[in-house]
Amino acid sequence: MRLFQTAALIFGIGAAASFFSGYFLTDGDFIREIILSVSIWFFAIFFLFVPHITKKILIQNILFFITSVVGMTFFIVKDAHMGASTVWAVYIVFLLYSIVLDSKRDTLFFLIFTVFTQIVLWITFPNVTIVLDNAQYAKRLFIIILSYVAVRYVTSEYDSKFQGYQRFSRGQEILEKISTNFIAVNQDNVRAKIDEMFMMAAEILQYDQAYLFRFDDKGERATILNAYVRDSEDNSLLLQLGRSFKISEFPQVEPLAGKHSPIFCDDIANLGTHTQDESANFFLSRGINSFYALPIFVEEKLSGFFVVEYKEKNELTVVESRLHYLKIIANVLGDARKKIIYEKQLYDFAYIDKSTNLPNRNMLINNLEELLLNRDDADKLVVFNVELDNLRMINDTFGHATGEQVVIKSASILQTLMKDGCVLSRIAEDKFIIVMPIAETIAQVMDCANEITDAFVNPILPADSIGSLFVTTIVGVATFPEDGRDATPF
């Protein structure tokens, strides 16, 4: 874009200089000079529209090359009768611009064309006698200035490209760190990992605030899992970390739940409709002038949204670059969420009973090992083995589905009896274990056992409405250290 704008400026100045030197300094024909100048102005305007005509770099380069050749031809033909003694040097300007295009082919073609025109002039006008008058000196000064502008532009352009490369390189380095950092993500460190990612990503994206929302399975509620604020004294946080809320009660968040593609606004003040005005006021009241919101997918299902906010308006030139980085980060967050879900599924499969959502035998052994580790003999530990004695008969009579409902109801009854520090587990189809790490007398232990038995005096009503069923229980008791010191035999 800057190349075409600068070239258009050069053509515009060249048109004005051509008319000035041709008409005022050499007393040329007014009509002829004005037509030539207007023609050059036309090329200047054309240059401005090239980036809008096509976005393809190759076609832009070709159009620039053709226009440069035509412009160069104009300067040479105009003074061909004197061998283009001064103006031929203007080719240096166009050559420098062709280098900026970073196209060896276009640069070579332009060089060949320039050499060819000089050979034609050489053959056509082998000997030319000229007078260096005011017009020629003015043209030389003009070409010197043009050359200076061109060189400064080339230097600036390459400096800009180098800085852009440095930013890109730094961005890739940070993305690599973020990806590496998430290799070891798990349920215990995921929040810390995301907080670190927010801080690292802020270096390349320069956002002022960032949020990670997670939607529930029904898409009705959202929870803010992580938040980042550049200024620690900034009080414009959207919501408090960890807060859960109904999406329907928060109209600014509601559009995110139904959107499966990135949303961005480079200038919130430009939002139009009444509904959008409310959203605009919501952002502007917190000093936010632009934002990006990207969906987080897990197994092609919308799991949440990653939102970044800016206090400054975003230039359209940076939108595409920022979206590129944000999409990568959103994918990393989606992969991390997927890994956490799979990890939880494996954990639940290994340690949680699916029907009752209670710890299973494996978890019970782990808990007991922790409780028994370096435990003093004076610190008593009591274990109650609760067996549903008639569960097999219920299964045979009413089916396993009803029996499973009885187990779930029984687990709920036992959970209501739990005291502080007690742990309830299901270790078999018809067996529960209650661990009571609080030392009590034998009489109190027996009272607890009787309380468990009495809890099943009333019949249980399964969910399938087959009627009430009585459940009989057998309660066994073991104590530490009398009945064992290791988890498994105990």
Task: Evaluate whether 478 touches 484 at the Cβ level (below 8 Å).
Answer: yes
pLDDT in tens, 106-135: 667 777 777 787 787 788 877 777 666 676
Residue 394, phi-psi category: left (phi > 0), alpha (psi -120 to 50), beta (remainder): alpha
| Structure confidence at residue 300 as a pLDDT band (50, 70, 90) | confident
| Cis peptide bond N-terminal to 481, omega within 30 | yes
In a domain, 243, yes or no: yes
Cα gap 407→355, rounded to integer Å: 8
**Who wins on pLDDT, 274 or 420?**
420
Look at residue 193 in the predicted model and tell me its pLDDT: 92
Lowest mean pLDDT among 85-99, 325-339, 364-378, 474-488: 85-99
Residue 75, domain extent: 2-161
Return all residues near 109 (Cβ < 8 A) that are at least 6 apart: 65
Look at residue 90 in the predicted model and tell me its pLDDT: 56
| Structure confidence at residue 239 as a pLDDT band (50, 70, 90) | low
Where is the domain boundary, 161, 177, 209?
161
Cα gap 115→107, rounded to integer Å: 12
| Structure confidence at residue 252 as a pLDDT band (50, 70, 90) | low
Are 220 and 273 members of one domain?
A: yes
Distances (CA, A) of 437 to 379, 385, 394, 424, 483: 8, 14, 33, 12, 15
Instruction: Calculate Rg over the CA atoms of the chain.
Output: 40
Are 143 and 197 members of one domain?
A: no
Look at residue 274 in the predicted model and tell me its pLDDT: 44
Are 282 and 199 members of one domain?
A: yes
Q: What percent of the chain has pLDDT over 70?
A: 80
Tell how far CA 51 is from the center of its chain. 29
The CA-CA-CA angle for residues 372, 378, 487, to 5°, reads 20
Are 319 and 367 members of one domain?
A: no
Where is the domain boundary, 348, 369, 392?
348
Closest Cα to residue 430, out of 471, 391, 478?
391
- Identify the CATH number of the domain in which residue 441 sits: 3.30.70.270
Q: Rounded to 5, what percent of the chain is helix, strand, coil?
A: 55, 15, 30
- In the 3-class helix/strand/coil scheme, how is 346-369 assigned residue by residue? HHHHHHECCCCCCECHHHHHHHHH
Task: Evaluate whether 468 touches 460 at the Cβ level (below 8 Å).
Answer: yes
Task: Evaluate whether 413 touches 456 at the Cβ level (below 8 Å).
Answer: yes
Q: Is the dihedral of CA 207, 212, 218, 221 positive or negative?
A: negative
Q: What is the rounded average pLDDT of the residues 150-174?
A: 77
Task: Evaluate whether 284 touches 278 at the Cβ level (below 8 Å).
Answer: no
The H or E element that residue 171 is part of is helix 134-181
Are 8 and 156 members of one domain?
A: yes
Q: What are phi and psi of 309, to 5 degrees?
A: -125, 150
Are 397 and 443 members of one domain?
A: yes
Look at residue 456 in the predicted model and tell me its pLDDT: 92
Return all residues near 47 (Cβ < 8 A) that are at least 6 apart: 4, 5, 7, 8, 11, 64, 67
Look at residue 111 in the predicted model and tell me its pLDDT: 72
Output b/e per residue, 349-380; b: 16+ Cβ within 10 A.
eebbbeebebbbbebbbebbeebbeeeeeeeb
- Residue 162 neighbours by CB distance under 10 Å: 10
pLDDT in tens, 51-78: 888 888 778 777 877 777 776 776 666 6
Lowest mean pLDDT among 120-134, 235-249, 462-476: 235-249
Closest Cα to residue 268, out of 253, 288, 251?
288
In a domain, 185, yes or no: no
Which token pair is 388?
A: 């549903």
Q: What percent of the chain has pLDDT over 90?
A: 18
Q: What is the rounded average pLDDT of the residues 14-25?
A: 74
Cα gap 335→108, rounded to integer Å: 48
Are 118 and 247 members of one domain?
A: no
What three-state secondary structure class fits 477? Answer: strand
Q: Are strands 423-428 and 244-246 parallel, antiparallel or unpaired?
A: unpaired
In a domain, 167, yes or no: no
Alpha helix segments (H runs only) across 79-128 = 91-100, 104-124
Are 150 and 211 members of one domain?
A: no
In a domain, 177, yes or no: no
Are 155 and 228 members of one domain?
A: no
In a domain, 389, yes or no: yes
Q: What is the rounded average pLDDT of the residues 229-235?
A: 74
Cα gap 131→326, rounded to integer Å: 64
Point out which residues pair with 434 in neighbouring strands. Answer: 384, 424
| Structure confidence at residue 314 as a pLDDT band (50, 70, 90) | confident
pLDDT in tens, 369-401: 888 887 777 778 889 999 999 999 999 988 888
In a domain, 183, yes or no: no
Where is the domain boundary, 327, 348, 369?
348
| Structure confidence at residue 451 as a pLDDT band (50, 70, 90) | very high
Are 339 and 374 members of one domain?
A: no
Are 269 and 318 members of one domain?
A: yes
Q: Is the dihedral of CA 476, 480, 481, 485 positive or negative?
A: positive
In a domain, 74, yes or no: yes
Domain count, the chain: 3
In a domain, 489, yes or no: no
Cα gap 329→296, rounded to integer Å: 10
**DSSP secondary structure letters along 197-266:** HHHHHHHHH--SEEEEEEE-TTSSEEEEEEEEESSTT----SS-TT-EEEGGG-TTTHHHHT--S-EEES
Which token pair is 118?
A: 């000089």
Distances (CA, A) of 399 to 356, 376, 426, 461, 462: 18, 46, 20, 15, 12
The H or E element that residue 307 is part of is strand 301-310
Return all residues near 214 (Cβ < 8 A) that are at least 6 apart: 222, 223, 225, 296, 303, 304, 337
- Identify the CATH number of the domain in which residue 309 sits: 3.30.450.40
Are 273 and 302 members of one domain?
A: yes
